[in-house]
Chains A and B, each alone.
Chain A
Amino acid sequence: MADLTKKKLLSEYPVRPFITGDALITYRSSASDNEKIGRSVINAGTAEGIADGSDSALKMYSDSVLKDAVEEMAVDAIYGGSTLIESAIGGTSIAFASEPELGLYLVELTTPAGLGSLVFEITGRDTNQVIGATVIGSDLVNIVGVYDSSTTTMTISDVRSDGSTNAVVIGDLYRVGA
């Protein structure tokens, strides 16, 4: 049993690393007088918890857990999965309502058909990207996307080796990343 009769200096108490399950003596300034001492448990966070992301409790983490979490999530956050943003857009342009998240997007064209999803990248700056190619009739077709950051609009064109520029019809738009 601890000797409670002897007063100790703070420096006489042993100190050890904080571990999960330790409760801290705390007080809350908004509490009423004489009710200001309490104990707060700070739980250890896990890589799985970070990946889940649903818990809003304040936690402490270790280097190991944080590294694991980044390793589990980073590549998937950029390249994993795709989410439908808008379907059957029509026309030749995608007008984003506001500055879109930077990263990869997939767009499907109704015209020309049969190309599968085409990948373009929003970098936040004006860009010109060749996002697809095919042969139609006897012409080489390049599908070109031009992003205007001032209007947050991606305009897609069908540029052919016969010198013509043809209108595309945009179908579904997906955001890449989990």
Chain B
Amino acid sequence: MTTLLNSISDISPQPFVSDDNALSYRSSNEYGNRSGFSSIATGSSEGIVSGESTALSIYSDGELKEGFRVVALPLAYGDSITLSGTPVSTTYTFPSTPTPGVYEVVFSFSLVSFPETRSSFYVLDRDNEQVIGSVISGGDLRIAVLYQNTTLNTLEFRVFSSSGATSTLAAISEVRRVSA
């Protein structure tokens, strides 16, 4: 049997789902023509990754989390691009104040080759030192570090040896920015 609704509170609310249309109005409409229905798009993680749609949408936590994850990862570890800074022997001068993030350095060391001559490092907003590799040569343990000077906007490549020496026979040939 159908019963009349006496109060709007008799209508039980339910979670909004993608087929629902919302009763809406625009205050700018002419008198008597203010009501309509608006469809509200359901956002998806694929849509966020694409980023093309400007339609206002409703998202679930799951879609937002997955969308953010897929967008964020390539930003932190994307395709690297070479910077136009100036390498002079052990010191590289950034073309401008570098944006914090993940970078790569390509280096060489004339006494002995490291297993790899490319290493990742972080650019941060304070002067810092980061160990990027170690190798044994001529009976010595050699450890390579990068020193970022935030005042001079430089990156210095240093190789310390267990013989107590700090080698200058090293060079930075290229710096690449990984994070977008």
Contact = CB atoms under 8 A, between A and B. Distances in A.
Interface of A: 1-2, 4, 10, 13-25, 27, 29, 33, 36-37, 39, 42, 44, 60-68, 70-71, 74-76, 78-82, 104, 106, 115-119, 130-135, 137-142, 161, 174, 176
Interface residues of B, number: 73
A161 B141 contact: yes
A interface, over-half SS: mixed
B128 A23 contact: no
Contact of B54 (A62, A135, A139): A62
B131 interface: yes
Contacts, number: 218
Interface of B: 7-9, 13, 21-28, 30-33, 35-41, 43, 47-59, 64, 67-68, 71-72, 75-76, 99-102, 122-131, 134, 141, 143, 145, 147-148, 160-166, 179-180
17 contacts: A1-B30, A13-B35, A22-B24, A25-B25, A36-B9, A61-B57, A66-B64, A66-B68, A79-B100, A79-B123, A79-B124, A106-B126, A117-B129, A118-B128, A134-B160, A141-B160, A161-B162
A130 B131 contact: yes
Nearest to B47: A63
